Amino acid sequence: MNPSTNSAPRWLLYGATGYTGVLIAEEAVRRGHKPVLAGRSREKLAPLAARLGLDLVAVGLDDARGLVSALDGLPLVVHAAGPFVHTSEPMVQACLSAGAHYLDITGEIPVFENTFRHDAEARGRGIVLMSGVGFDVVPTDCLARYVADKVPGAHELDLAIASDAQLSAGTTKSALEGLPSGGFVRRGGQLRPWPVGKGARRVRFSDKERSVMPIPWGDLETAWHSTGIPNITTYVAQPAAVAPLLRVTFPVLQRLLAVDAVRDRLSKLVEARVRGPDEALRQTGRCHVWAEARAPDGRRAAAGLETPEAYAFTAKATVLAVEQVLAGERRGAFTPAQAFGADFVLSIEGVRREDLAS
Ligand SMILES: NC(=O)c1ccc[n+]([C@@H]2O[C@H](COP(=O)([O-])OP(=O)(O)OC[C@H]3O[C@@H](n4cnc5c(N)ncnc54)[C@H](OP(=O)(O)O)[C@@H]3O)[C@@H](O)[C@H]2O)c1
């Protein structure tokens, strides 16, 4: 977007004072937008709004009327307040009432499922609902679509992520919420439980080979929508020793984390101790993504992506997604790759894609 030829886009950024919300606000301003900063604490919003020269609105997610009135005259929300299993639905409802597009940066499978459940209402209301416009799932979703397009009729899709990124408190807390559900893969179009630590293997990313093990990324839902491939496994790179260790220890961990009081205690500890990557790490960090699609007759295609550090990527991808949705005509619930195509990820500064031997 060229700020000199367009009036500054105004939209609502909810959760603006979180680690990632601040990065999105800064990126939006850098690209000539004027988002209204929103969240539940005026006290936290005021210094950020003053620093960036933006308006603010303080409203809780439990205030349905307040949310709709905060959206008055605004065409779109970026929801950056997670864990989204607790925060997404009230904002989706507010967007449906107000007629505003809804984008979020979740990576949580139940949230993607819920967003897609509102597809018909979104079409009727003339809005876009799009979950996952951050690092999870833009690169994997776009690469899934890219390899799937090369193998028409593919029945299997594998996706893997390698990142040495440090996690923010919000990401760690969202992961804690998902851990009690355990592992999953998609088989025959259905999500199926999968023992954590089972199925470790080696994968050749664009820079080097790594050990990976299945873990349930949001792509188990989004890649199913973006590609229609019925058998999907999502992997994360880990030192080879981690998978066998988790096979033994995860069931105990899972039982512990299923206790609300244990999860709440850990969340408090995370809030107090965990800080996201600093500016230097965000500038220098790199992530790698790998995807392979396979057809029953043996045709296959693999490709890799190298991207900027995950939180830096999320801020850039989110603001570009806002621009695409505001400029587009589509209505309903979409994944990023469904709406914008496999090459969307290449519009993000610092991303490289490469075909790989499979
Ligand atoms: N897709 C991706 O790749 C990606 C990338 C980055 C982050 N994320 C996700 O984005 C979320 C935020 O991450 P973060 O790093 O920014 O976390 P964070 O620093 O902990 O910030 C969380 C933000 O959400 C707000 N919030 C949480 N629960 C709320 C509620 N019930 N009502 C209103 N506001 C609420 C917090 O407000 P208070 O300060 O008032 O508590 C804070 O502004 C996490 O779920 C994370 O997993 C995803």
Q: Residues near 192 by Cβ (< 8 Å), separated by ≥ 6?
A: 184, 185, 186
Tokens of 64: 């349905």
CA separation for the pair 276, 58 (Å, rounded): 24
Nearest CA to ligand 1 atom 30: 87
Give residue 276's pLDDT: 87
Which residue, 15, 76, 79, is CA-closest to 45?
15
In the reported structure, the alpha carbon of residue 25 is separated from the centroid of ligand 1 by a whole-number distance in angstroms of: 13
Give residue 223's pLDDT: 98
Q: Cα angle at 87 between 83 and 90, to 5 degrees? A: 165
In tens, the pLDDT along 116-127 reads 999 999 999 999
Alpha helix (H) residue ranges in the chain: 19-30, 42-52, 64-70, 84-98, 109-117, 119-125, 138-150, 169-178, 219-227, 242-257, 260-273, 279-284, 310-327, 336-340
Is residue 313 within 8 A of residue 307, CB to CB? The reply is: yes
- Which atom of ligand 1 has the smallest separation from the CA of 81? 24
In the reported structure, the alpha carbon of residue 341 is separated from the centroid of ligand 1 by a whole-number distance in angstroms of: 27
Q: Kindly list the structural domains of the chain, giving each domain's residue range(s) and its CATH number in brackets, ordered by start.
A: 12-134+312-347 (3.40.50.720), 138-309 (3.30.360.10)
In the reported structure, the alpha carbon of residue 83 is separated from the centroid of ligand 1 by a whole-number distance in angstroms of: 6
Count CB-CB contacts under 10 A for residue 327.
10
In the reported structure, the alpha carbon of residue 224 is separated from the centroid of ligand 1 by a whole-number distance in angstroms of: 26
Ligand 1, residues 171, 264, 268: which to mutate, most atoms within 8 A of Cβ? Answer: 171
pLDDT band, very low/low/confident/very high, at 6 (cuts 50, 70, 90): low
Ligand 1, residues 13, 17, 20: which to mutate, most atoms within 8 A of Cβ? Answer: 20
In the reported structure, the alpha carbon of residue 41 is separated from the centroid of ligand 1 by a whole-number distance in angstroms of: 13
- Which atom of ligand 1 has the smallest separation from the CA of 271? 20
Q: How many CA atoms lie within 13 A of 154 on its CB side?
A: 28
CA separation for the pair 223, 33 (Å, rounded): 30
CA separation for the pair 26, 8 (Å, rounded): 14
Mean pLDDT of all residues in the chain? 95
CA separation for the pair 355, 358 (Å, rounded): 9
Q: Residues near 11 by Cβ (< 8 Å), separated by ≥ 6?
A: 33, 35, 36, 74, 75, 76, 77, 78, 100, 322, 326
Which residue, 178, 191, 185, is CA-closest to 234?
185
Give residue 333's pLDDT: 98
Q: How many CA atoms lie within 13 A of 179 on its CB side?
A: 24
Note if the bond before 29 is cis, omega within 30 degrees.
no
Q: Which residues line ligand 1 (CB under 6 A)?
A: 15, 17-21, 39-41, 44, 61, 80-84, 86-87, 105, 107, 134-136, 168-171, 174, 276, 310-311, 314
In tens, the pLDDT along 170-208 reads 888 888 888 888 999 999 999 999 999 999 999 999 999
